[in-house]
Amino acid sequence: MDIYGVIKKDKQITKFNFYGFFKNLRFFEPYLVFFLMGLGYSLFQIGILYSIREAITYIFEVPSGIMADQFGKKKVLLMCFVFYMISFVFFFWSLNFSILIVAMIFFGLGEAFRSGSHKALILSYLEHKNWYTHKGFVYGRTRAYSLLGSSLSAFISILMVLNLPSIRWVFLISLLPYLIDFMLVLSYPSALDEKTESVTSVKSFYKESLNAIKTIFSESGLMKIVISSATFDGVFKTLKDYIQPVLVSLITAIGITKIGSDSVGDQLTVYLGLVYGVFYIFSALASRNVYRLTQRYSPSSVFNRMYDLMGVALVLLAFALNQDYLIMTILVFFSLYVMKDSRKPVFVDFSSDYMKKDQRATVLSIESQLRSLLVVTLAPILGWVADQFSLQIMFLGIGGLIIIGNRILKVR
């Protein structure tokens, strides 16, 4: 049996895979923006909520990475699921904007304590098994399982939204897979914690955090890789859920369905669920097989070209919306999802060669922190632009900036 076959059969690798699968059973995801719109909030107000969520992630990102490196990655990962589950309860109780803010705060805490920690656990395990050179293959497979979870979640969510009293009940049902993931992480071997000497004071804790940032950004290559990944994912994260109002406007414009004041129309429910489900299936396939692309071309080449392609795709999206081309709009969103989920394994593979062992969780957390900072800034701004001008103008502007930005961020 070749090494890839051995890796596939490893029990802990299988646990890593199912961690991602259950983590992405977010049954509310295809309808979150539309749920918020249905409560009467504008795109600008929704952008504010997203900005609050990302601001919390930004504030706690590096501290959570330092905590993972110094107190144990497994412990920090368990905390993240507690925060997520609390946020789902508040989403269910979202009677007003204030409760939604609290929900977003806990969701942001979950994101902060999750990001970087699990990737660092995987890298630590690969080192223990002398499989570190196959990190791109392993991470691509774990991400593929995550995306399959997202795909299954989208398909199941169709039945849920059509049969439950309201969309808000989907948040409560999402508690179950997150409880399963909590128990799964609890079963990870404690040796993977790899905690170092504890920080004994708040002052020394933040001093360590600042020193880690200085060290990482003093290395030009690693700095560009981190910024490139953060901006790519940040722009995608800000824009990805715009597919919901985009499809609503296009489908309504061509008279396929009507939107109810309290819930989505049945046809739109099916369309959104199917679109997300199909997107994630192909994203999973791309993530699982992108290592073949980096074997043929250099990781730096794949990493850089995907950045340019994202900018081109956003410009095409503006054109498709301007012409009311529904199929073209869906295809462009499809390409964005595939590129985003293909590029992440390339980033993990590419950036790992620039990191020191004791920097991993911190570097990955800094990348997530920068992404969060970008979303904090962009979410309300782009929501305002979409409200005041149009979605077309919003996509065209950000697409042009992406293309220009990659002239600076390319890593050879």
pLDDT digits (tens, 9 = 90+) for 138-150: 877 887 888 889 8
pLDDT value, residue 260: 40
In this predicted structure, what is the pLDDT of residue 190? Answer: 80
DSSP state of 201: S
CATH class belonging to 9-191+202-409 = mainly alpha
Q: Are 30 and 154 in contact (CB under 8 A)?
A: yes
Cβ atoms < 10 Å from Cβ of 63: 18
pLDDT tens-place string over residues 6-20? 888 889 999 999 998
What local confidence, expressed as pLDDT, does residue 216 receive?
67
* Mean pLDDT score across all residues of the chain: 82
pLDDT for position 7: 84
Q: What is the dihedral of CA 7, 9, 10, 16, to 10 degrees?
A: 90
Q: What is the pTM of this model?
A: 0.75
Output the pLDDT for position 321.
85
Three-state SS at 370: helix
pLDDT tens-place string over residues 374-398: 888 888 998 899 888 888 899 999 9
How far is 139 from 123, CA to CA, in rounded Å?
A: 9
| pLDDT value, residue 300 | 75
The rounded distance, in Å, linking the Cα atoms of 258 and 2 is 55
pLDDT of residue 312: 93
Q: How far apart are CA 193 and CA 320, in angstroms?
A: 48
pLDDT of res. 225: 82
Nearest of 111, 139, 110, 156 to residue 276 by alpha carbon:
156
Question: What is the phi-psi region of residue 255: left when phi exceeds 0, alpha when psi lies from -120 to 50, beta otherwise?
Answer: left
Please give the pLDDT value at position 295: 76
Q: In which residue ranges of the chain is pLDDT below 50? A: 197-202, 257-264
Domain ranges of the chain: 9-191+202-409
Q: How far is CA 192 from CA 121, 168, 298, in A?
A: 6, 37, 31
> N- to C-terminal Cα distance for the chain?
36
Neighbours of 280 (CB within 10 A): 28
Instruction: Please give the pLDDT value at position 195.
Output: 61
